[in-house]
Amino acid sequence: MKRRQFLKNASLTGVGLSVGTTLLNCAENTSKSKEASVASASTKATLPLVIATWHVENATAKAMEVLQAGGNTLDAVEQGCRIEEANENGQSVGKGGLPDRDGNVTLDACIMDQHGNCGSVVYLQNIKHAVSVARKVMEDTPHVMLAGEGAKQFAISKGFQPEDLLTEASKTAWKKWKVEAQYKPIINIENHDTIGMLAIDKNGDISGACTTSGLAYKLGGRVGDSPIIGSGLFVDNEIGAAVATGLGEEVVKTVGSFLVVELMRQGKSPQEACEEAIRRIVNKPNSDYKNFQVGYIAINKKGETGSYAIHQWFSMTKFQGGVNAQIQSDYFNKA
Ligand code: ASP
C-alpha cells in the first residue's frame, strides 16, 4: 500500500494499523507489547542497520544489499532513496511526485556522509534522481546547494536524462485539486511524506539522505526542510544522525534534525531526542500543531534508533539482523 494511501485509509477507517503485513503495532522503546520488546532488544544488537521514514521496505532492502555487498553507507542511502524516486506509484518523491499548484513537479533532496560532507538540490525539475544530483553537488563542486535551472543544467552536464516527472495519476490528482484549489497545506496531513534514510555500517560510520517532491500543490518556488542540511537531515559521525518528514516550515523553524543530534550529544537516546524535538514544536505559544504533522527518525553510534511524530500513523522502516519491518511510531497528540 502506498504511504499516502495508507495514511488516508488509516485516518478514514481507524484500522490502518492492522493492514500492513510486516507492521509492528508498537512504539519503539516505549511500548510494553511483545513486538515492541523484540524490536527494542534487537536495536543494539546488530550492525549494519538501515532506517527510513514511512513504509519503504524495498528501499531499505536495497540499502542493506549495498552494505552487505561491501558498499559504504553513502552508497547505501543513495541507492535506497533512488528506489522510491523511480517508483511512479509513490506520489511524494521523484517521478510521479504530486506537482505544485501550477502543475510543475519540483524536487528537493540532500545527502550527508560520515565526514560531514554534504550536497543538496532545491527546486529541481525534470530529473527524477534528485538524491544522486545532490551527491554530485557534494562530490564534484565546491558548493553545498544548487537550485532550480542551475541544478538541472548541472545534472544534465553530469549525464542525467531530463524527463517529464508528472505522471497521468498525479496529473489527474492535480486537476481534481484544481476544481476547488484550496490552498491549505497545513491541515492536510496526507499531503506530505518525504523519504529520509539513515544507515550505519559495522564500523559505526553513518550517512543519511532525504528526497521529496515537497508539499503537494505548494506555491511555485516553495522549498521545505528536506534539502536544508540541519533541518531535513543531519549526520554527525561522532554522535548519530536524524532525518525529518512532515510540514517543512515547522522543521526549519526549529532546525529539527540538528536539534535531534545535539540532544543525543547531550546524552539523550535517539527516542528521547526525537520526542524532545517534537515537543519544541508543539509547546510553542500558539502552536497550531493539531493541524499539521512532523515526524523524526534518529540513530546513534551504538545503533540505537528512535522515531516520534506529532500525530498517529507515522512509521519507520528498519532493516537490521535480517529483519526488514515497518515499525509504527509513538506520537504526541493522544487527545
Ligand atoms: N518535509 C517535506 C516538505 O516540507 C514534505 C514531507 O515530508 O512530505 O517539503
Could you tell which of 7, 54, 107, 194 is best to mutate to test the pocket of ligand 1, judged by most ligand atoms within 8 Å of the CB? 194
* Cβ 175 vs Cβ 35: under 8 Å: no
Of ligand 1's atoms, which has the minimum distance to the CA of residue 232? 1
State CA 206 to chain mean position distance. Answer: 16
Task: State which CATH number among 3.60.20.30, 3.40.50.10420, 3.40.1360.10, 3.40.225.10 fits the domain covering 50-331.
Answer: 3.60.20.30
Ligand 1 pocket member 53 (CB < 6 A): no
Q: Does residue 188 surpass a pLDDT of 90?
A: no
| pLDDT score at 184 | 66
Domain spans of the chain, in order of start: 50-331
Position with higher pLDDT, 317 vs 91: 317
Atom of ligand 1 lying closest to residue 192 CA: 8
Does the structure show a pLDDT above 70 at 82? yes
What residue owns the CA closest to ligand 1's atom 9? 214
Provide the CA 128 distance to its chain's centre, in angstroms: 16
- Global pTM value: 0.88
DSSP, res 202 = T
pLDDT at site 284: 96
Mutate to test the pocket of ligand 1, among 84, 225, 243 (most ligand atoms within 8 A of CB): 225
Residues serving a catalytic function are: 194
Mean predicted lDDT score pLDDT of the chain:
86
Dihedral pair phi/psi, residue 314, rounded to 5°: -80, 145
What's the whole-number mean pLDDT along residues 291-316? Answer: 94
Give mean pLDDT, residues 266-292: 96
User: What pLDDT does 22 receive?
Assistant: 36
Percent of the chain with pLDDT over 90: 71
Nearest CA to ligand 1 atom 4: 248
- Of residues 172 and 39, more confidently modeled: 172
Identify which of 297, 293, 299 has the alpha carbon closest to the alpha carbon of residue 281.
Answer: 293
Query: Nearest Cα to 92, choosing from 184, 198, 216, 209?
Result: 216
Enumerate the β-bridge partners of residue 241. Answer: 235, 299
Mean pLDDT of 162-185: 86
Q: Could you tell me the pLDDT band of residue 18, with boundaries at 50, 70 and 90?
A: very low
